[in-house]
Amino acid sequence: MERSSSSLWRKIRARYNLVGNVCENCSTAYFPPRIVCRKCGRKSKMEEKRFNGDGEIFSFTKIRVPPDTFKDEAPYFIGIIKLKEGPMVEGHIIDNGVEPEIGGKVRAQFRKMYVEGDEGLIYYHYKFEPL
Amino acid sequence: MAGIVGYGVHIPIYRIKVEDIAKVWSEDAESIKKGLNIREKSVPGKDEDAATIAVEAARRAIRHAGIDATELGALYAGSESHPYAVKPTATVVSAGIEAGNKLMVADLEFACKAGTAGMQMIMGLIDSGMIRYGMAIGTDTSQGRPGDALEYTASAGGAAFILGKDKNGIIANVVKTVSFTSDTPDFWRREGASFPSHGGRFTGEPGYFRHITGATKLLFEETGMKPSDFDYAVFHQPNGKFPKMVAAQLGFTEKQIERGLMTPIIGNTYSGSSLIGLAATLDVAKPGQKILVTSFGSGAGSDSFAIEVTDNIDSKRKNLEKVMDIVERHKTYIDYSAYLKNRGSIRKT
Ligand SMILES: [Zn+2]
């Protein structure tokens, strides 16, 4: 993950609260935020938007052999979530006893993603909980 | 005086039963269940800590209050299990609810009563006119030493209360609050120690009972109120038995405390304990009803509150997630080995 706390700091709003943006010209929503709208180019009018975290599972997969960072987590699910407002977001799916399924409704929750050893930073992040 | 404009609770979905802990230590589950009046306790997920619990509770409180998080002028997070020794939990919470940057923020620690201490501080800031709204949180993922009696009760959960002065938004007025404090070595944890130490079973009397009765009687003196004036009472709940005993000592009935008595089904959520009990009581309270809340924190001290429910409580429930619904939501039982793994005691090397 991050090599520096400054890169964490820049991404906090996106990671904690799914803050992306929307083009006021064509209403297309983006997460992560884009500087220019893909459709409108020079005509784009980007406004910050906090997505409310509701969405559905577009696809998912079970991770059995995780990267070192998540070695204590496996097995766990990650998925592509289609947010209610449109954007596709990748994220961890919380194990709450509800088997993930395509089209299944989820909601973003605030969780610990990764802890840097015994002395480093704690990285908080959204994860999606099946409803 | 300042009043409550919204609240939210979070309790992790995992539970472990007294039977599953007792089995490991060859103890008699039935006598523990009876002796402590507890059936099961909540356990945090591997990816939950006092900060994540606080954020989830705070988000629910913001929705219930119907305010924008940037309207908060202060936010205090009370816990005895702050994830960092230096780096305030409350900073993570304020970012987690998008409260912006223009607010006073600090962490508090007073064993199990840091949440109610935060409420008193917020009230002072509101009544002095320094802020319009403030949030006080009690949140913990507490741990008992394996094999210690505390292992049956130490659990995880939190509650966030938003206070304000806005007449149309207040669901319950705080009529009066007082505290009772002394230097009592009943329970402690030194910097760097993983588990707390305590003075054993004989510390109940000089700790819990002396301070709760001290603060509650002081509240009676200063308000002229008596137990029968209250519809409900909530006392700190280190187990399911102490609050019943202290209620009887003070002249309250079992019926007055049963709605707010959550420890038998979720365990002792430490800083969350009395606030979750208050939330569960507000979930069902009717306009005009009066609630007594007395917290307790080892070390030691108690904060006592006389609270009166307003007419706004019913209309504001449309955005409320009730405590019992949160307790039952996706509730998942785990065994002792999964419990150790969730707490990080077992790791892959
Ligand atoms: Zn566009």
pLDDT in tens, B284-298: 999 999 999 999 999
Instruction: Please indicate whether residue B109 is annotated as part of the active site.
Output: no
Asked if B186 and B58 sit in the same domain, the reply is no
How confident is the prediction for chain B on average, in pLDDT? Answer: 95
- Does A30 score more than 90 pLDDT? yes
Residue B6, strand partner residues: B162
Asked if B139 and B288 sit in the same domain, the reply is no
Residue type, A106: V
- What is the pLDDT confidence band of residue B346, given thresholds at 50, 70 and 90? low
* A112/B47 Cβ within 8 A: yes
Quote the CA–CA distance of B84 and B17 in Å, as a whole number: 29
At residue B348, the pLDDT reads 56
User: How confident is the model at residue B25, as a pLDDT?
Assistant: 93
- Per DSSP (E only), the strands in chain A are 19-23, 29-30, 46-50, 54-63, 76-83, 88-93, 105-115, 122-130
Res B68: pLDDT: 97
**Three-class SS state of B79:** coil
Mean pLDDT of B63-90: 97
pLDDT value of position B201:
66
Q: Which residues of B touch A (CB under 8 A)?
A: 13, 45-49, 51-52, 55-56, 59, 83-84, 92, 95-96, 98, 330, 332, 341, 344, 347-348
Contact list, B89 vs chain A (CB under 8 Å): none
B138 and B193, same structural domain? no
Active-site residue identified among B48, B56, B71, B80:
B80
| Domain that residue B28 falls in | 3-170+314-348
- What distance in Å separates residue A130's CA from the closest CA in chain B? 10
My answer on whether B117 and B158 are in the same domain is yes
CATH number for the domain that contains residue B188: 3.40.47.10
Residues B149, B110 share a domain: yes
- State the first-to-last Cα distance of chain A, in angstroms, to the nearest integer: 29
Choose between A96 and B119: higher pLDDT: B119
Supply the pLDDT for residue A1. 47
User: Would you say B186 and B201 are in contact if contact means Cβ atoms under 8 Å apart?
Assistant: no
Do both B342 and B288 map to the same domain? no
Considering the domain architecture, whether residues B245 and B150 belong to the same structural domain is answered as: no
Residue A28 CA to ligand 1 centre (angstroms)? 6
Q: Are residues B307 and B331 in the same domain?
A: no
- Chain B nearest-CA distance from A113, in A, is 7
In tens, the pLDDT along B229-264 reads 999 999 999 999 999 999 999 999 999 999 999 999
Q: Are B113 and B301 in contact (CB under 8 A)?
A: yes
Is the ipTM reported for this complex over the cut 0.90? yes
Q: What proportions of chain B, in percent to the nearest 5, are helix, strand and coil?
A: 40, 25, 35
In the residue annotation, B112 being an active-site residue is answered as: yes
pLDDT digits (tens, 9 = 90+) for B24-69: 999 999 999 999 999 999 999 999 999 999 999 999 999 999 999 9
Q: Which of A21-35, B143-157, B166-180 has the lowest mean pLDDT?
A: B143-157
Determine the pLDDT at residue A4.
60
Whether B236 sits among the annotated catalytic residues: the reply is yes
Domain shared by B209 and B263, yes or no? yes
Closest-CA distance, A43 to chain B, in angstroms, reads 29
Q: How many structural domains comprise chain B?
A: 2
Same-domain status, B296 and B329 = no
User: What per-residue confidence (pLDDT) applies to A5?
Assistant: 67
Among partner residues A17, A97, A112, which is closest to B48 by beta-carbon distance?
A112
Residue B230 has a CB neighbour count (10 Å cut-off) of 20
Q: Which residue of A has its CA nearest to B54?
A: A110
- Give yes or no for a contact between B119 and B160, defined as CB atoms under 8 angstroms apart: no
Residues in A lying within 8 Å of B, measured between beta carbons = 12-13, 16-17, 19, 50, 71-73, 94-98, 109-113, 122, 124, 127
Same structural domain, B291 and B192: yes
* Same domain (yes/no): B135, B212: no
Q: Is A72 in contact with B347 (Cβ distance < 8 A)? A: yes
Q: How many whole angstroms from B281 Cα to the centroid of ligand 1? A: 49
Amino acid type, B287: P
